[in-house]
Amino acid sequence: MLLRAGQGAASARGARHLRGGPFLAAGLAVALCFALLGCGVGDYVPWPGSSGGGRPAPSRRPSIPAPSAPPEYHLSQAPAAFSALRGSESRLLAGQLSPASQSLSSYADLAAPLRYSLDYLSRMPQGEPALVQPGGTLSWGQLRQSAQELLAMLPALDQNPGLLSERFVWYELAPDPLLTGYYSPEMEASLVRAPGYDYPLYAPPPDLAARPASYDRRAVDLNRALAGRGLELAWLKNPADPFLLQTEGGGTLRLPDGSVRGVHFAGANGLAFKGLGKILLDAGALPKERLNRAEIRAWCAANPARSLELMAESRSYVFFRFTTAASEGSLGKPLTPLVSLATDPSLLPLGAVAVLKAPLSGPSSVSDGGGVLRGIVLAQDAGADIQGLRLDLYLGSGERAERLEATMRTSATVHLLVSKSALRGRQ
C-alpha cells in the first residue's frame, strides 16, 4: 500500500510531514510523542527480551560512562517528522557517504547484512503496513523492494554513489534523534568449573515464567537456587562479569584453549534492577570519579564476597544461551559493527534501510581514530529502551568498541531510504 497522498508545499527540515518525491505527494504526518530519556552515572542495566526475539533491551542506557564522558544530550520532546529531500540535496549527501567511516572496504561489504534484512522482510506479509502513521503507511513489500534494489546496486556504488539519489527517496527525520551505542564484551571463561573460574553464567530454568520471583539475584548468586540443576553454561573469573554480560545482553566468552563462544540473552526474571555503579557508589565502595569498568572489575575481584552481597541489591537476573555469533539482533542474525542499528520499530521498522551521519566518539575521537560516520545503516535490532527519537548503534567488540560505547551520546542525522519504484507500486 502506498503512502496516502496529502496536501502541502515543500517544507524545511523539521517539518511535520513526510512527503514523496515526484512519485509521491505530501503525506504521513507523524504524531509520536517521545519521553525524555535520562542517563545516570554508573547505571548498568539488564536487558528484558524484545518482542522480536532478538537482542534483549535495557530499560535505560548507556552504562558506565568513562571519566571523560561528553555532556548530556537532551532529547527534543517535539513530535517526530519525516520530510523528503529534493534530488539536489540527496545527490550531495550521497556523494559524501564513506564506507571507510564504518570500517568497510567498499559498499560490497554491506551485502551480507543486507541479505539478513531481506530474509526477514521476505517473511513478512508483503501487502501489510510496516510503518503506520496518521497520514499513511509503508508496506513490508516496499521495504523489501528497497533493500533488494540496494543489494543489486552495491557493486556500482563505489564508482557512482549518486545512484542512491536517482533510485531512492531520502526522507529526513526531524528533530535529530539521540544516538547511543552498544557493544559485545569479551570475558575469560571456562565451560566447566575450574580453579579461578568461580562465577556461573546460567541458562534459564524451565520454571522461570511460572516462578520469576524465585530467581532473584540473591537467590541465585548467594543462596545457590540453581545449583545442581545442570544449568551452568560457563564459569567466569570475576564476580562482576556475569552482571556486566547481563547488562549488554550478551557477548563473547574466551575459553582457556583460546577458542570463543558467543552467549546471548535467553530470558529474565523481570524484577527490579539497580545499576552496579550506583550500588558501589551508594555503598561507599568507589567514588563517582572512579566509576569505570576497569575500576569496578578490579574492586569486585579484590572483594568477591562483599561484591556479591552488594550486587544482590539488584533483584533483576538475566539468563543466556550459546550462539554462533558474538551478538545477535532482533532478526535472529549476527549484527554488523557500525552498520546494525537498534531502533523503535514504530519509527524505523526492522529491515529498513537508512543513512546515518554522526560523530563516532566524544572527546577521545582523535586518540581513538574516530571521526564522523557517514554511511548506510540497517535497522536490525530493537529494545525496550529504544523508543521514539532514540537509536542505538552496534559498535562490535574489543577495547575500542567499549570506549566508544562509554562516550557515545550525541545527536545524529538520519534519512530513511525508500525505492522510488516501490513507491510507484511496482512490487
Least confident of 20-29, 215-224, 321-330, 408-417: 20-29
CA angle 160, 140, 386 (to 5 degrees): 90
Closest CA to 354 of 59, 90, 53, 119: 90
Residue 242 binned pLDDT confidence (cut-offs 50, 70, 90): very high
- Which residues, 6 or more positions from 24, have their beta carbon under 8 angstroms from its beta carbon? 2, 3, 5, 84, 169, 423
Please give the grid coordinates belonging to residue 89. Answer: 540535496
Q: What does the pLDDT look like over 144-184, one tens digit per residue? A: 999 999 999 999 999 999 999 999 999 999 899 999 998 88
Contact between 401 and 395 under an 8 Å Cβ cutoff? The reply is yes
Q: How far apart are the first and last CA of the chain?
A: 10
- Residues composing the chain: 427
Whose cell is 513489500? That residue is 141
Most trustworthy range by pLDDT among 312-316, 395-399, 402-406: 312-316
Superfamily name and number for 18-182+333-423: RlpA-like domain (2.40.40.10)
- Could you tell me the residue ranges of all domains in the chain? 18-182+333-423, 189-323
Burial of 32 (0-12, 13-18, 19+ CB in 10 A): middle
Contact between 193 and 201 under an 8 Å Cβ cutoff? The reply is no
Residue 403 has pLDDT above 80, yes or no: yes
Strands 232-236 and 186-190: antiparallel
Percent residues over pLDDT 90 in the chain: 58
Burial of 4 (0-12, 13-18, 19+ CB in 10 A): middle
Q: Top-level CATH class of 189-323? A: mainly beta
Please give the grid coordinates belonging to residue 307. Answer: 561484591
* CA–CA separation, 385 and 402 (whole Å): 19
Q: What does the pLDDT look like over 72-126, one tens digit per residue? A: 445 455 677 788 899 999 999 999 999 999 999 999 999 999 999 999 999 999 9
